[in-house]
Chains A and B, each alone.
Chain A
Amino acid sequence: MPTVTRWYVKTSLISLLIGISIGITQLIPDINFPGAYPIFIHLLTFGWLTQLIFGIAIWMFPTFSKEQPRGPEWVSWLIYGSLNIGLLLRVIFEPLQLVRPNHLTEWAVDFFKFLDANQFLIHVLFTNDIVQWALLLSAVFQWLAGVLFVVVIWSRARGTKAR
């Protein structure tokens, strides 16, 4: 199994683990984790299933050429990076987008100020602009991962007469 596929498969298993854990927390009464449902769904469908399919397809599909049997390797790494950066940004910032206007956010900001935390950190975590930009970037990265995979695998999916 090539190195890049191992990274896809292992990361997909981590996504599965985190996704299931978030799913379990949703079942516990009195725990209200805002924005958990879309994260739970996307960790399982995109982080787990889609990432596993991507990794195995890059490994096992008919070869691209003799010199580069799996196509340019850097593209596979770019797909891996885009998918996981996009997903990570979503996992971090989608809940923050939902909690920001309520008391929890005010409480968290006060808490961080009490800890004398870095102003930049408070700004990053609780300012509209940063959260919006992070989620927009997440959308772009996830889209890019899908499109690049389509481009890479399209030419490797080909028919044979004999089989």
Chain B
Amino acid sequence: MPRLSLFFVRASLIYLFIGVTYGGLLLWNKVLPFSSIIWLLRPTHIDIMFIGWMTQFALGIAFWILPRRGSEKPRGNEIWSVIAFFLLNTSLIFSIFRVFISTTWIVVAAHSLQGIGLVLFLIGNWWRIYPLKFPEYLNPKG
């Protein structure tokens, strides 16, 4: 597994841990209310699970297993995916802090960073999605 995929996957596991802990607290609070502040965590829980856990895990695996070209730079210019990793994680930190800062700009900034991050990942890896060069390898006799 390349180093960047490792970062994506481990970050996604950290967010899975935070996300299920938030989710557990939310469900607990629904049954036995102990804090009104907990409900403010709901949008953050959604962001953490969708972007932090699922999307980040998928991007990490995609970066690892998508077809490679050549042996010198098999995954092309990795800087696009590196920047995407930083933008996604910065956006999630913004999302966590929106509980404490009650302004809408932080939400806009968080989602904008997510969007830009995903676009950069696409730019960096789009060319790796191509058809099989030698399809006869799949069926040598046929």
Footprint of B on A, CB under 8 Å?
45, 49-50, 53, 62, 90, 97, 131-132, 135-136, 138-140, 142-143, 145-147, 149-150, 153-154, 157-160, 163
Most buried by B among A132, A149, A157: A157
In the complex, what residues of B have CB within 8 A of residue A132's CB? 31-32
Distance between Cα atoms of A131 and B10 in the complex (Å): 36
Check A143–B57 contact: CB distance below 8 A.
Answer: no
Q: Name the one of A45, A142, A146, A159 contacting B3, with C-beta atoms under 8 angstroms.
A: A159
Q: In the complex, what distance in Å separates the CA atom of A131 from the CA atom of B50?
A: 28
CB pair A62–B10 under 8 Å, yes or no, is no
Contact of A135 with B27 at beta-carbon distance under 8 Å, contacts A142-B20, A158-B1, A163-B2 already known: yes
Closest to B32 in A: A132
Q: For the complex, would chain B's binding face be called helix, strand, loop or mixed by DSSP majority?
A: helix
Q: Is B24 in contact with A142, judged by CB distance below 8 angstroms? A: yes
- What is the CB-to-nearest-CB distance from B126 to chain A, in angstroms, rounded to a whole number? 21
Q: Is the CB of B17 within 8 A of A147?
A: yes
List residues of chain A with CB within 8 A of the CB of B92. Answer: none
The 3 residue pairs across chains A and B that have the minimum distance between CB atoms: A146-B20, A143-B24, A139-B27
Which chain A residues border B10 with CB–CB below 8 Å? 154, 157
* A139 vs B21: C-alpha distance when bound (angstroms): 9
